[in-house]
Amino acid sequence: MATRIIDITRRRLLRGAAGFSLALPFLPSLAERTALGDPVYTRPRRLFWFATDHGGAFENNMFPDVATLTTRQEYLPGHTIGSGPLAGTPDGDRVVVSPILSGKATSLTPSMVGKMNVLRGLDCPFFILHNTGLHLGNYAANISTAGDGFEAQKSPRPTIDQLLAWSPSFYRDVSTIRQRSMIMSSGRELSSNWSDPSHRSGTIQNVRGIDSSRDLFNSIFVPADAGKPQRPPIVDRILESYKTLRDGNRRLSSSDKQRLSDHIDRLNELERRLNVKASCGNVMVPTDDAKSHQKIDATDAVTHWRLFCDVVVAAFLCGTSRIAVAGVGSTEKFVGFQGDWHPDVAHQWQLPDKQKLLSDSYQHFFEGVFLDAAHKLDIEEAPGVSYLDNTLMAWSQESCMATHSSISVPIVTMGSAGGYFKTGIYADYRNVVDSKARWDPGAGHTMWLGILYNQWLANVLLSMGLAPADFELWGHKGYGLPLVTRETYPPLLLQHYQGASSSYFQMASTPLPFLT
């Protein structure tokens, strides 16, 4: 049967905080033709990533009960992994997937649980210490002054959001794209890229985020007079002069050639954005700004991030961006904690009162921000398919249960990335049958090594339409540095992962079991 794309003429209205609203038609320019076969609806995939600091939540607070892992299979000889269906347990007017992953029954509905995944047993195989780079693949972004983390600083990488943002496999058409990747929070160095991203050259630099949701709005939406004729790009007018300077001046050093190339590249991207044309319907400028909500107060913290999420959701629906990264950072504001969260709470995760603060802060973030954003995206994009279905929302934490360590980093997702991922799954990649994979982080807790976080990042890229050849740019599988610990904390990392030639690294570009 020939492929057919069916137009939907019904208009939709997106409502957000502080008077923000957006009337939207169906946007046929976003529809991609599918392969021959049944008449299905395909839309460009989207990525919305939330990153929080520290970790520190007890695993029995973060993850569902292991009794729900009803399926077992062998990942590698001697390494058995498990999965099971996610389920919410009623508790009064609330539903509990885990103590942290809980919410009101009207919000955490069976449908939303069915669009969710929880991943356990994803490891960074070296001691990375405090960092902002693990989330999205630039392991060099850490604060170490010696050891493993310092070694990783020698090999910076672009983060996966930027790799996607500049990939023609992801953005096949940028004619409506105002921001390739929306980065929120300037204080978190989560996103990084080449200084000349279009040529994948130059130094790896931090991509600065935005602190104002109103500024983000202004950077995303097309002005009313956007239909005016395009002016000839400045780059075109100076191209010959640029080539003469770059190629004909022997005094120009290689580093200055790179600086010149970087400058022209940035100018070209700026002019492309200024000439973007898009059909966004009737857009009302928001009257409130996330920048005005930065108090140490739980309600204010939720409002801050909801205002950002309103803009992201509207941009996704409008088609002026398809990538967003929210650097939520430390979560003390979600419980109104007055003090120094890092030493007074995060580093004392083993103590019952500190554990309650950590777990409560994550629960408030999950219900108030992450789940709320999922609901805002869960509106029909095509018959039987929502914007959330065509998006991958992901929440990652800086560390695991033991702060400073990155064994079994929790990952929570919503959406299937256009059907790439199965959903409604609790996947546990830990090797709980091998005593050599067991680690005691203290306070009577036991942790088990699993598989590489690098493989998870590769799976995100695969789900967004990239092929391994698009991200295996440094001669290794997966995404992220293939470094195995050279320290003694914990010593079983070296024994388990062995080195970059081990099977764990060789499988790091393959689809994750249970999910695809």
Instruction: Give the tens place of pLDDT for each residue, 47-67.
Output: 999 999 999 999 999 999 999
Distance in angstroms (rounded) separating the CA atoms of residues 122 and 362? 19
Looking at residue 70, its pLDDT comes to 96
Beta bridge mates, 240: none
488: alpha, beta or left? (left if phi > 0; alpha if psi -120 to 50): alpha
Which residue in 5, 13, 9 sits closest to 280, CA to CA? 13
Distance in angstroms (rounded) separating the CA atoms of residues 218 and 370? 23
Give pLDDT tens digits for 435-452: 888 988 888 899 999 999
Distance in angstroms (rounded) separating the CA atoms of residues 253 and 55? 45
Looking at residue 10, its pLDDT comes to 34
Looking at residue 225, its pLDDT comes to 55
Q: pLDDT tens for the chain, 516 residues: list them.
A: 322 222 223 334 344 544 444 434 444 444 444 333 333 445 689 999 999 999 999 999 999 999 999 999 999 999 999 999 999 999 999 999 999 999 999 999 999 999 999 999 999 999 999 999 999 999 999 999 999 999 999 999 999 999 999 999 999 989 889 899 999 998 888 999 999 999 999 999 999 999 999 999 988 886 555 555 555 555 555 555 656 655 665 566 767 656 666 555 555 555 555 555 665 656 677 889 999 999 999 999 999 999 999 999 989 988 899 999 999 999 999 999 999 999 999 999 999 999 999 999 999 999 999 999 999 999 999 889 999 999 999 999 999 999 989 999 999 999 999 999 999 999 999 999 888 889 888 888 999 999 999 999 999 999 999 999 999 999 999 999 999 988 876 778 888 998 878 999 999 999 999 999
State the residue for tokens 């929070």.
185
Looking at residue 317, its pLDDT comes to 86
Q: Strand, coil or helix: what is 29?
A: helix
Q: What tokens does 60 get?
A: 């029995």
The one-letter code for the residue type at 181 is S
Measure the CA dihedral 470/206/410/322, to 10°. -60
Looking at residue 187, its pLDDT comes to 84
Using CB atoms within 10 Å of the CB of residue 436, give its burial: 0 to 12 exposed, 13 to 18 middle, 19+ buried.
exposed
